[in-house]
Amino acid sequence: MLLTEASTQESKLDAGQEANPVKIRIATLVLGAAILLPVAAPAQTGRAKVKIVAPANGATVSGPVKVVLQATGVEIVPATVERPGTGHHHLFVDHDLTPVDDTIPRGVTGILHLGRGQTEFVLDSLAPGPHRVIAVVADWKHVPLKPLVADTVRFTVK
Ligand SMILES: [Cu+2]
């Protein structure tokens, strides 16, 4: 609607005189858009994220495989720290995610809690072939953060 209005008025410009008011109006529209963008941005950047930095998705690697994790917007701490805005990493190695509202179980093959606040973990017993690792950040109760903070890579061990 606004754009249509602007271009309609612009076509009148050719007549002459009213050029300046219309130009100012267009400039205001552009400025308005520019001002709106930074306001929307913090909500996005404030959201916690995790990235599996290594191995790269789709890579072929030799074992042992070092998994390197990078979290933003959440402080990675030992599982003993009970503080909002914190969490610890979990790895699901060739294992599907457990229900996101539930505690991530312990003592299950393929589910690892990096409960000392580690940001790296070496997988030293992966068989040759394709593998999938899902990283999930969960709080001190081992319940995944909401909204879910997770990343997935698939790779092949030579
Ligand atoms: Cu945990």
Tell me the CATH number at 61.
2.60.40.10
Mean pLDDT of 99-106: 98
Alpha carbon separation from 46 to 34, 49, 72, 123, 144 (Å, rounded):
20, 9, 9, 31, 17
* Residue 118 and residue 150 share a domain: yes
Question: How far apart are alpha carbons 155 and 158 in whole angstroms?
Answer: 10
CA of 75 to the centre of ligand 1 (A): 14
Cβ 73 vs Cβ 47: under 8 Å: yes
Task: Please tell me whether residues 73 and 123 are part of one structural domain.
Answer: yes
Kindly report the average pLDDT of the chain as a whole number. Answer: 82
Residues 40 and 53 in one domain: no
Range of the domain at 40: 2-45
CA 144–ligand 1 middle distance (angstroms): 9
Residues 40 and 54 in one domain: no
Ligand 1 center from residue 38 Cα (angstroms): 35
Judge if 124 and 136 occupy the same domain: yes
How confident is the model over 79-95, as a mean pLDDT? 97
Q: Measured in angstroms, how far is the CA atom of residue 1 from the centroid of ligand 1?
A: 51
Residues 40 and 69 both lie in one domain = no
What pLDDT is recorded for position 151? 98
Domain final position from 45, 60, 80: 45
What's the 15 CA to ligand 1 centre distance in angstroms? 71
Is residue 18 pLDDT above 80, yes or no? no
Q: From ligand 1's centre to the CA of 61, what distance in Å?
A: 27
Phi, psi of 31 (to 5 degrees): -60, -40
Name the domain boundary from 45, 62, 79: 45
Are 132 and 58 part of one and the same domain? yes
**Residue carrying the six token digits 């400025």:** 31
- Is the predicted pLDDT of residue 19 greater than 50, yes or no? no
Q: How far is the CA of 153 from the centre of ligand 1 (A)?
A: 20
The answer to whether residues 94 and 31 belong to one domain is no
Residue-level pLDDT at 2: 39
Tell me the CA–centroid distance for residue 46 and ligand 1, in Å.
23
Overall average pLDDT of the 84-105 stretch: 98
Residue 68: its pLDDT value, please? 98
Q: Enumerate long-range contacts of 75-82, CB under 8 Å, 24 or more apart.
A: 76/117, 76/119, 76/137, 77/117, 78/115, 78/116, 78/117, 79/113, 79/115, 79/116, 79/117, 79/140, 79/142, 80/115, 80/140, 81/117, 81/140, 82/140
pTM attached to this predicted model: 0.72
DSSP 117: -
81 and 93: one domain? Answer: yes
In the reported structure, the alpha carbon of residue 155 is separated from the centroid of ligand 1 by a whole-number distance in angstroms of: 24
Tell me how far apart the alpha carbons of residues 143 and 154 are, in angstroms, rounded to a whole number: 24
Whose tokens are 């999930």? That residue is 136
Task: Let me know whether 24 and 82 are in one domain.
Answer: no
97 and 39 in one domain? Answer: no
Overall number of domains in the chain: 2
> Residue 156: is its pLDDT beyond 70?
yes
- The reply to whether 8 and 85 lie within a common domain is no
Cα of 108 vs centre of ligand 1, distance in Å, is 12
